[in-house]
C-alpha cells in the first residue's frame, strides 16, 4: 500500500516556480495535528485529476484550522440518517485509534477553500471538537 507521499508524486508535476500565492497559507503539518497522529495513508487521490484540468498540489501535508470551514454547522449538510450515523461512528473510530487520514482541500478563488475528499471525516472531527486537521492542499488554477 502506498503512503500519501508516494500517491502525491503520481499526480504532482514538477515545477520550477515558487509555491503559488493563496488567500490562505496553511503551515506544514507535523506528525500530530489536533491531537491525532497523521496517517501516512491517503485515499481518493484520483479525485484531483478527475475534478481539475489545471491544478497544483502544494508540497507536504498542511495543518488546516476547522474555523475556515465552520461558518455553518457542518453536519447540517447531511440529511440522510446513514450519513449522520456514519459520521458519529467515524468519530468514535478516530477517537479510539488516535489517528486521522489527511483530507483533500481545494483552494479556489470563487468559493474559497473547500473539502474535495474527507467530508465525513471533517464532520467526525467537528463532532470530536478538534480545532485543526491535516490536509493535502490543491490549488485550482482554472
C-beta separation of 134 from 100 below 8 A: yes
More confident residue, 133 or 80: 133
What is the reported pLDDT for 19? 42
What is the reported pLDDT for 108? 86
* pLDDT mean over 102-130: 90
Q: Where are the domains of the chain?
A: 4-11+25-73+99-116+130-140
What is the reported pLDDT for 74? 52
Spatial separation of the C-alpha atoms in residues 5 and 71, rounded to whole Å: 31
Is the predicted pLDDT of residue 107 greater than 70, yes or no? yes
C-beta separation of 11 from 57 below 8 A: yes
The values of phi and psi at residue 117, to 5°, are -135, 130
pTM for the predicted model, two decimal places: 0.78
* Per-residue pLDDT reduced to its tens digit, 5-61: 444 344 344 333 344 444 458 999 999 999 999 999 998 899 999 999 999 999 999
Q: What's the per-residue H, E or C state across the chain?
A: CCCHHHHHHHHCCCCCCCCCCCCCCCCECCCEECCEEECCCCCCCHHHHHHCCCEEEEEEEEEEEHHHCCCCCHHHHCCCHHHHHHHHHHHHHHHHHCEECCEEEEECCCCCCEEEECHHHHHHHHHHCCCEEEEEEEEECC
What is the reported pLDDT for 79? 62
- From first CA to last CA, the distance across the chain in angstroms is 32
Spatial separation of the C-alpha atoms in residues 67 and 82, rounded to whole Å: 26
* Per-residue pLDDT reduced to its tens digit, 47-95: 999 999 999 999 999 999 998 875 544 555 556 778 888 999 999 999 9
Give the residue carrying C-alpha cell 484550522. Answer: 65
Amino acid at each position: 500500500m502506498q503512503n500519501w507521499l508516494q500517491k502525491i508524486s503520481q499526480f504532482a508535476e514538477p515545477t520550477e516556480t515558487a509555491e503559488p500565492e493563496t488567500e490562505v497559507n496553511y503551515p506544514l503539518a507535523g506528525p500530530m495535528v489536533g491531537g491525532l497522529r497523521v496517517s501516512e495513508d491517503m485515499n481518493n487521490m484520483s479525485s484531483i485529476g478527475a475534478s481539475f484540468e489545471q491544478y497544483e498540489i502544494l508540497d507536504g501535508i498542511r495543518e488546516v484550522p476547522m474555523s475556515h470551514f465552520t461558518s455553518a454547522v457542518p453536519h447540517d449538510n447531511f440529511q440522510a440518517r446513514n450519513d449522520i450515523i456514519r459520521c458519529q461512528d467515524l468519530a468514535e473510530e478516530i477517537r479510539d485509534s488516535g489517528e486521522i487520514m489527511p483530507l483533500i482541500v481545494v483552494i479556489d478563488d470563487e468559493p474559497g477553500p473547500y473539502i474535495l475528499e474527507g467530508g465525513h471525516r471533517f464532520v467526525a472531527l467537528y463532532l470530536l471538537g478538534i480545532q485543526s486537521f491535516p490536509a493535502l492542499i490543491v490549488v485550482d488554477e482554472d
